[in-house]
Every structure is written in C-alpha cells, then in structure tokens.
Chains A and B, each alone.
Chain A
Amino acid sequence: MQLAGRGVVCVRGGREVFSGLDFEATSGEAVAVVGRNGSGKTSLLRLIAGLLIPAGGTIALDGGDAELTLPEQCHYLGHRDALKPALSVAENLSFWADFLGGERLDAAESLATVGLDHAADLPAAFLSAGQRRRLSLARLLTVRRPVWLLDEPTNALDVAGQDMVGGLMREHLARGGLIIAATHAPLGIDSRQLRIGGAV
C-alpha cells in the first residue's frame, strides 16, 4: 500500500500555502510533517482526508481497498476531538464505532488501552484536555483504518500518554498501517521527515 502526492498545491483564503509538494509513504512507514506555524501542516492532512480540495496535483492511495475512496480509509485526528459533552465516554466511542463501521474492536478494550476504562460512564463534559485526547485515540483503536492522519497527536498528553501514543503508532505500523503526522514535538517513533515551507 502506498500513499503518494504529486505536485500538490494548497490555496487557502486566496493565499498559496504551499505548491509543488511531493510526498509518499508506504505500509509500515510513518511520515512526520514538520514546518513552522502556518506552513500548511494541518492543511496537508485535511487535503489527504478530502476535507480540502487541492488547487493542483494529485493524492492517491495505491493498494488499498478498491471499493473505498481515500478519505474512507483514513482516520483523522484533528485539533477538535469530535466529542459530545452531553454523552458519556462509552456512548461517544460506541457512536463513532457504529457510525464509521467496518472492522472493529471491542470498545471497552480500547478504553482500557488509553486508560479511560474507569471513566466510561462519565459525561465527556467532565474530561480534561488530555483525557479528551485519549478518548479520540480510542476511536482510532476501535475502528480499523489503514491510514492515520494525526494532527499534533501528543498535544495535551502527559509523559505516560505520549509514550502510549508512541506504542499505539508502532503497533499500527507493525500491522501494515501508514501514518502521516503533523508535529512540532518528536514523534517518538522512527519516521521519515517531510518539511514544508522552508526551515523551522
């Protein structure tokens, strides 16, 4: 499986963020997208996720499920964590598991992995920023998707949480997954660097 972008151009609000960007990632490989603030790291992830339309160039996944589009095979972990404060931790997770569909794991097990099993019945409104991040990560574990698009995955997490994310990413890569992560901090796993927008 290979994800490749050729000559990708991103225009936002009439301003060209980056142009002529080439990148590729194969199964079992992680790409760390680095660059200064505003260089277009998040935009690149959203382009791959189909949430932005490229102004030029192509992004394609070879060797994936031919029946599905690229966004349908991606997990997107953005700045906003897609949680409903009125629903409990377990309800939030089981909703996304039911809605996203496909191959899935036991939700309780993923909650235990991210260290939220004790809070399963707590409304998400009472979670801290780090716990919300952990709950979002549980979604990635519960529903299987080959491509992970992570935007600052370790944001708001404590040291143990950052190690946990590293472990989860290694497991995902070992299963033949593929990770594109936008990050300022070191990812904590072996990764190829993709620098956009000049030196940091």
Chain B
Amino acid sequence: MTALSALVRRDIRIALRVGGGALIGVLFFLTVVVLMPFAVGPDLALLSRLGPAILWLGALLASLLTLDRLFMADHDDGSLDLITMSRTPLELACAAKALAHWLAAGLPLIVATPVLGLLLNLDMVATGAVALTLLAGTPALTFTGMIGAALAVTLHRGGLLMAVLVLPLSIPVLIFGVAASQAAIVGPMTFGAPFSILCALSLVSLVIGPFAAAASLRHGLD
C-alpha cells in the first residue's frame, strides 16, 4: 500500500510542478470551449443545445493530451524497469499511475466545468448534470487511454498513434456521457438509464485497463 500511495503522490507532484501536464490539460479545455462560441456564433439557444457535447469533447481531448506520456516518461528515464522489477504487481502500479493521472488532469476539468458552462449559456441544472457525467465518465477515458499509452511504449510511437488507438474506444463513453447530460436538460429520456451505463463503462475500464496495460508493457520489455 505504501508503494502504491508513493507512486500516486509522486505522479501528482510531477504533474503539478512547472512543466507538468495538469495545468496544460485545463488550459486546453478552456481554450477549446472558449473558441466554440466564436465559431458557432452568438445564438444562445444553439449554444445551450450544443453545450454538453462541446464540454464533453473538450474534456475528452484534454484528457488525451497528456495521457500519451503516462508511461513514456517512465520508460525513457528507466523508472519503468524498476517498477517492473519491484514487488508491486505491475497491474496495480498501472492502476495507481492512471489514478494519479485522473486526479491531476481529470478532476481539474470537472472543477472547471461550471465556469465554462456560463460561456455556453448552460443553466445551473445543466452544468451540474454535465459535471456529474464527467465525474462518472472521465475515469473510463483515463483507464482505456492507459491501454493506448502502454502500447505507445511497446511500439515506440507516441502522440498520434495513441489518439488513433484510443479515440475509437472512447466513443461509447462520449455517447452515453452526452446522452445523460441531454436527458437531464431536455429529456425525454430519464437521466438514470444512460448515466448507469456510463458508470458501468467506467467500472469495466477500471478492471480491464490495468490488466491490458500491464500485459502490453510486459510484452514490450526490451
């Protein structure tokens, strides 16, 4: 337990220091959402209808932005060798790293959502609904994205390959995340059904992600 909490604390600390990824993700999210009203125009009704989708897309891209370095940095400086050799199972170490990434890069996006909701003409209920769906859905983005991050290490390719691999996996999360938000705002569906599926997607990825990532990392040992 000490080992895992040490890993989580270290990754969060690095992410929050100068040059870390946490702030960059939030700034990117902010930029994407702020640009949107300029592109769509000042039609308030249209903005509030598109709002949840824009927030979700922004959060998706922002969380991918820093995810490709999840294992690459540790691989490049040799930390991954020591993590692989250690007494901590690699699966748990992967889960701890993903948790740290979500705490440092995912949680700030959710905190920023109410502010950005104002820019998209979303009322309190709508903003709350989007924030809640992001809270339930972003762990799924991080934990499936982790598989792509591990493959990027195995294949020695980062960046775009990672986006191409991970974005298709995040389609269900996006669909049910936006559906739950829309259901809360305009209906006619109940909020509960898509939200439950969103939670289920997160839980499934919490289980599959660490095992798949660890398997990929082990396969890529060199």
Query: Which residues of A pack against B, CB within 8 Å?
Result: 12, 46, 49-53, 68, 71-72, 74, 76, 78-84, 86-87, 91, 95-96, 98-102
Contacts and interface: CB of A to CB of B under 8 A. Distances in A.
Given A50-B85, A74-B85, 14 more contacts: A49-B85, A51-B81, A51-B222, A52-B221, A76-B82, A78-B81, A82-B78, A82-B82, A84-B10, A95-B6, A98-B2, A99-B82, A99-B88, A102-B87
B87 A72 contact: yes
Nearest to B80: A82
Nearest to B222: A52
| Chain A contact residues: helix, strand, loop or mixed | loop
6 pairs of A and B residues whose beta carbons are closest in the complex: A80-B78, A98-B6, A71-B85, A86-B17, A82-B78, A82-B79
A191 B76 CA distance: 32
Interface residues of B, number: 27
A50 B84 contact: yes
B190 interface: no
Given A51-B81, A78-B81, A100 B14 contact: no
28 contacts: A49-B85, A51-B81, A51-B84, A51-B222, A52-B221, A71-B85, A72-B86, A76-B82, A78-B81, A79-B78, A80-B76, A81-B77, A82-B81, A86-B13, A86-B14, A86-B18, A86-B19, A87-B10, A91-B13, A95-B7, A98-B6, A99-B7, A99-B10, A99-B82, A99-B88, A100-B82, A100-B87, A102-B87
| Chain B contact residues: helix, strand, loop or mixed | helix
Contact of A100 (B3, B17, B77): B3
B126 to A, nearest CB: 38
Nearest to B76: A80
B114 interface: no
Contacts of A79: 78
Nearest to A72: B87
A69 B4 CA distance: 19
Contacts of A95: 6-7, 9-10
A116 B222 CA distance: 31
Contacts of B19: 86
Contacts of A76: 81-82, 85
Of B2, B18, B82, most buried by chain A (CB within 10 Å of CB) is B82
Nearest to A95: B10
A20 to B, nearest CB: 22
A48 B126 CA distance: 57
A84 B14 contact: yes
Contacts of B221: 51-53
B14 A99 contact: no
B156 to A, nearest CB: 13
Contacts of B13: 86-87, 91
Of B5, B14, B20, B83, most buried by chain A (CB within 10 Å of CB) is B14
B77 A83 contact: yes
B122 to A, nearest CB: 36
B86 A82 contact: no
Nearest to A96: B82
Given A51-B221, A84-B14, A87-B14, A98 B85 contact: no
Contacts of B83: 99
Contact of A49 (B3, B7, B77, B81): B81
B1 to A, nearest CB: 10
A101 B6 CA distance: 10
B104 to A, nearest CB: 12
B77 A82 contact: yes
